[in-house]
Amino acid sequence: MDVFGIIGWPVGHSLSPAMHNAAFQALGVKAVYGLLPTTPEDLAQAISGIKALHIKGVSVTIPHKEAVIPLLDELDPVAREIGAVNTILNRGGSLWGTNTDWLGVKKALEEVVSLTGQRAVVVGAGGAARAVVYALKKARAAVEIYNRTWEKAQALAQDFGVEARPWAALGQADGEILVQTTSVGLKEDRSPVPREILGRFKVVMDIVYDPLETRLLREARAEGCLVVNGLKMLVYQGAEQFKLFTGLEPPVELMEQAALEALKGEKNG
C-alpha cells in the first residue's frame, strides 16, 4: 500500500484527498492519500518525514509552495522558473520537486480556447499568478499583468518578460482572455474586475473555486464570455500529479466529479 498526501496549513478543506482516492479506487491502485497538516515551523521536519515514512509522493499547497524548495534534493527546471513547487516525488529516498499548477491552468483554458497568439490579461501578481503567467507564456499568448500593488506587477512582468500595466488602467484593459488570480471573490460576492470591460473578452477564467461561479464568472457569462472556473485548474493540476504519482493515465472526469462532491459536502457539513 503506497502512501501519498498533501502538506499545507491549513489543509482541512483540501479537495485533493477526494480526487486522488477516487482515482486510486477506480484504477485499482493500492494506495491511500491523506491530509498532512504542517505548520510553517514544522516544514523542514515534515519534509524529512516524507523520507523516514517512505511516503511516495506529496502535494504541496499554501503556504509552503516556495518555502519547500531549499528542502528538496532535486528541483525540476519548470518549478525553478515558476518559483514554486506543488508536487514532490520520493524517488528512492531522493525528493524531487516539480510544478503541475501551470499545466492545470493551460489545460483548463485550452479546453475552450487556443492560446497561441492571443492577448491575455492577468489580474493579480501573487503566488498563484506566477503559474498562470508561466502557462500563458509557454502557450505563446501575449500577457499583460494588472495588480493593485504596482511594484509586484512590475517584478512579476520582469521575471517572465511580459508587460505590466497600472491597476488604474484596468478599465481600459482589452484582449481575448482574462484570468483572475487574486483571492477577491473567495467566499464573497465580489469581483476585482469592472463589469464594463468583460464583454471585450472571449474567455474569462477565475482561479477561485469557492463559490464555483464567482461574481466575476456570473457577470462574464451574462456578457457572453466563455467562462472557466477554478475547479478546472484544480482538477487538471491534480490529474497531472496523479500521472506522476502512479505513471497511469488519470480518470479526469471522475476526479472532477469527486472534487465537486467534496466541495458540496464541505458546504453542507
Strands 57-60 and 87-91: antiparallel
- List contacts with ligand ATR (CB under 6 A): 124-129, 147-149, 152, 181-184, 192
**Is 51 annotated in the active site?**
no
* Closest CB 132 distance from ligand ATR, rounded Å: 9
In Å, how far are 83, 142, 162, 236 from 178, measured between CA atoms?
22, 11, 15, 19
* Closest CB 185 distance from ligand ATR, rounded Å: 10
What grid cell was written down for 122?
A: 492577468
* Closest CB 182 distance from ligand ATR, rounded Å: 3
Residue with Cβ nearer ligand ATR (22 or 120)? 120
Residue with Cβ nearer ligand ATR (184 or 258)? 184
78 burial class (0-12, 13-18, 19+ CB within 10 angstroms)?
middle
* Closest CB 90 distance from ligand ATR, rounded Å: 25
With CB atoms as reference, the residue minimizing the distance to ligand ATR is 126
Residue with Cβ nearer ligand ATR (121 or 125)? 125
* Helix spans in the chain (H): 16-27, 43-52, 77-82, 101-110, 127-138, 150-160, 215-222, 230-246, 252-268
* Closest CB 233 distance from ligand ATR, rounded Å: 12
CA-to-CA distance for 140 and 119, rounded, in angstroms? 9
Spatial CB neighbours of 225, under 8 Å, sequence gap ≥ 6 = 198, 199, 201, 202, 203, 204
Spatial CB neighbours of 218, under 8 Å, sequence gap ≥ 6 = none
Which one from 30, 51, 65, 264 is the annotated catalytic residue?
65
Residue with Cβ nearer ligand ATR (151 or 174)? 151
CB 8 within 8 A of CB 38: yes
Residue with Cβ nearer ligand ATR (56 or 137)? 137
Instruction: Please give the positions annotated as active site.
Output: 65
